[in-house]
Amino acid sequence: MEYDSAYFAGGCFWCITPVFKETEGVLDVVSGYSGGDEVSPDYDDVKKQKTGHRETIRIDYVNKTVDFSNLLDIFIESVDPFDDGGQFIDRGHSYTLAIYYTDGKQKEIAEKKIAELEKTYGKDVYISVEPFKSFYPAEEEHQNYYLKHPEEFERELIESGRKKGE
Would you name the residues annotated as active-site residues? 12
How far lies 95's CA from each of 45, 131, 132, 145, 148, in Å?
13, 18, 17, 17, 22
Compute CA distances 127 → 97, 99, 104, 149, 152, whole Å: 5, 7, 17, 29, 28
